[in-house]
Structures are given as structure tokens and as C-alpha cells.
Amino acid sequence: MVEVRLENISHIYVTGRKTQTLAVKDINLTFPHASFCALLGPSGCGKTTLMRIIAGLNIQTSGHVYFDQQEVTPLTPRERNVAMVFQFPVLYEMNVYENIAFPLRSVKVPENEVKKKVKDVAELVGVTDILNVHPSTLDMGSKQKVVLARALVREPNVFLFDEPLTNLDPLGRLEMRSKIKELQRNIKTTMIYVTHDQAEALTLADKIAVMDFGIVVQYDEPTTLYEHPKNEFVGFFLGNPGMNFIQGTLEGNEINFGEFKYDVSDVVEKLKEYGTEFKIGIRAEYIKVSKKPFKGAFKGKCIVSEHLGTSTLLDIKVGDKEFKAKLRITDVKEGDEVYVQFPKEKVHIFNKAGELII
């Protein structure tokens, strides 16, 4: 296992005499020893590019990649000893046992050792009962497990995953997700996991780098990202639903949203430095909603109510402002008048551009 450190990494793809794409811009990130870190962001934000740079499949236009103290930029992917698992499992035309044994055979590991290593890895990944099977008869989830086993058998320095669950069915996805997490706990190899699925990143990773347009917007532990997003993009991208953002105007000691107001007397001096337009951010599950009036609540209307199994998602409208509230148990139905409150400790205040202030 190694610590992977990216220093000022930028990458430009040149696709024609005049066409250039700046895919990642000046990225600085450290993935600690034996950690499980995710690169999370929308399509095209540069996740795969960064991953390929770590693997040595692309050489960055500028910047440095270190594995512990060693700069690995001059090293080939093989010399870096990096294992990659991609979206589409690619297996050789040989049975599962031979597929897993292949990397060992290619470096002439003695046969008795091959046997032992394949057995151990197959048990770890849960493919022991299909060792004699030809991959063409396997479903996508099982194929992906075999790829995982074949990568593991080499005892890589770093494990790189690029959206490995995307093509699995929902059940296969859940199974593979817990398998990867279990492996990480057991083998303690540094793992870097690319995904555009925030739920996957939040459940799997110790740390998440949220990317957008080739830059890292925020790199933190999942709870920090969820509770203290640095800006509107992160707040909205993480969570299901994303954080609510409601725009209003500072007037005296309150932010005025038209039909309701939010008291900011304790922070008003600080807010004044940022002008008069603000957004408050609050997660749907922290909003208090009742059909009866209560202290500090303002009146609104439920315009949509969706049952999600263990919770209910309400769309609430107050004047021209709309937001979502998520409740575990509620008798609120579409069309009901509701009373709503934003608990102070759960409200964040952002400037007009969506950058976190408080």
C-alpha cells in the first residue's frame, strides 16, 4: 500500500490542430495509505482522466504524481503496480481459474504458489464455486468479481475503480458494493474509486473529492461534505434530494423571502460584507413540518407528497419559494396547509454566487 499524491496536475487533450480540451486543472490531492477515496462528479468533469494519470495510462501535461516519496511519472503502469477495474469487465477466453492465475503465470510464479493464491483470492471475492466456469456463461456481476480477483492476485500498490458498478443490475450492484467495502477492510490497500453516483461515494469512501469542470471543488470526509458543503454545487450534488437553496434579501436583521423571513441578527454584521442577496441552504430532512401551527413556524402549502417507503418527500410552496422536506412519518397530503420551520443549527448561509459564508 502507498500514499498517492497529486501535485499541480493539469491535463490537456489535443484532438486536432486547433482543438484542445483542458480536462483537469491544477489538481492537488493526497490519498492516504490504505484509505478508500472517491472521485465524484458529473459526466465530463475529469474523473477518468485523473485516474488514468495515476495509473500511468495517460501522462499529465504538467504536475507530478508520487507514490509515497517516489515520483512515478516516468514509470509504466506495470512498474507502478496499479490494478484497475473498469465499467466493462474484460476477461480472457479461458475459465475463471485461468483468468485469475494469468497475472501470476505471466511473471512465472511457481505452480503450487499460483494454486494457493488463486484459492485465497477466490475465497476473498466469493468466486470459489465458479472457478471451472467459462466467463461467457457468467452474468455481469460475476464477471466483475472475477476481474476483481484477477486484479487482487497481483497484490497491487493501489486499486483504481472506474464506475465498476454502472453496468450491474440493482441486486448485483448492492452485492458488489459491499464486497468492495469488505475487501478494503480486509486487504488494506489504497483504493481510489471513480463514480458519478453520490450515494455510492457516501457509502463507500473515507474521503471524497467532489469535482466539477476539471477542478476539485471540495475534498473531505462524507459527513463534512454532507453537513458543510463549501458551495451550492456540492450541497445540491450530494444527498437525495440535494440541499434546498432559497434566495432572499437581507433587510435589517432578517433575510426576507417574500412570504416569510429568517432571523439573522446574530450574524448580520458578517453578512453585510457580502451585499444584500443571499441563499439559505437546508437539507430536506432537517425541515420541521406540521399541520398545526407551532412556535417560530411560517405557513405554506404542500403541493406534492411522494411516499419513498420509509419516508415521505414533500414539495412545499410558500409564496414563490419552493423547497423539499423529508419526513419519516407524516399525515401531510397534497393540498394541505402546513407549518414549517428551519432549525437554526441546520441552516447555512451562502452568498449570491452560492459560496458558503456561515
Residue ranges that bind ligand ATP, judged by CB under 6 A: 13, 15, 21, 23, 41, 43-49, 196
CA 284 vs CA 234, 252, 256: distances in Å: 15, 27, 20
Select the binding partner of residue 324 from Mg ion, ligand ATP, none (C-beta < 5 to 8 A, by kind). none
Minimal distance, residue 137 CB to Mg ion, in Å: 29
Q: How far apart are CA 358 and CA 356, in angstroms?
A: 6
* Minimum separation from the CB atom of position 50 to ligand ATP (A): 7
Distance CA 237, CA 244 (A): 11
145 binds, among Mg ion, ligand ATP, none (CB under 5 to 8 A by kind): none
Stretch that binds Mg ion, among 5-13, 44-52, 60-68, 199-207 (CB under 5 A): 44-52
Q: Which of 6, 37, 48, 144 binds Mg ion (CB under 5 A)?
A: 48
Taking the C-alpha atoms of residue 43 and residue 33, their distance in angstroms, rounded to an integer, is 28
In the bound complex, what is the minimum distance in angstroms from residue 243's beta carbon to ligand ATP? Answer: 22
CA distances 135 to 72, 94, 107, 122, 138, Å, are: 34, 7, 23, 15, 5
Contact 250, 272 (CB under 8 A): yes
Of 40-48, 127-135, 237-245, 274-282, the segment contacting Mg ion by CB under 5 A is 40-48
Query: Judged by CB, which is closer to ligand ATP: 39, or 158?
Result: 39
Smaller CB separation from Mg ion, 48 or 330: 48
87 vs 256, beta carbon nearer ligand ATP: 87
Q: Which is nearer to ligand ATP, 49 or 189 (CB)?
A: 49
Q: Between residues 23 and 349, which has the closer beta carbon with respect to ligand ATP?
A: 23
Q: How far apart are CB 40 and Mg ion at their closest, in Å?
A: 12
Pairing between β-strand 277-282 and β-strand 244-251 as defined by DSSP bridges: antiparallel
Q: Pick one of ligand ATP, Mg ion, none as the site partner of residue 196 (Cβ within 5 to 8 A by kind).
A: ligand ATP
Which option in Mg ion, ligand ATP, none does residue 43 bind, with CB closer than 5 to 8 A by kind? ligand ATP
H-helix segments, the chain: 47-55, 77-80, 96-105, 111-125, 140-152, 170-187, 198-204, 222-227, 232-237, 268-272
DSSP codes of every residue in 296-343 = T-EEEEEEEEEE-SSSEEEEEEETTEEEEEEESS----TT-EEEEE--
CB atoms within 10 A of CB 111: 11
Which residue lies nearer to ligand ATP by CB, 207 or 283? 207
Minimum CB–partner distance for residue 5 and Mg ion (Å): 22
* Residues found near Mg ion in the complex (CB under 5 A): 48
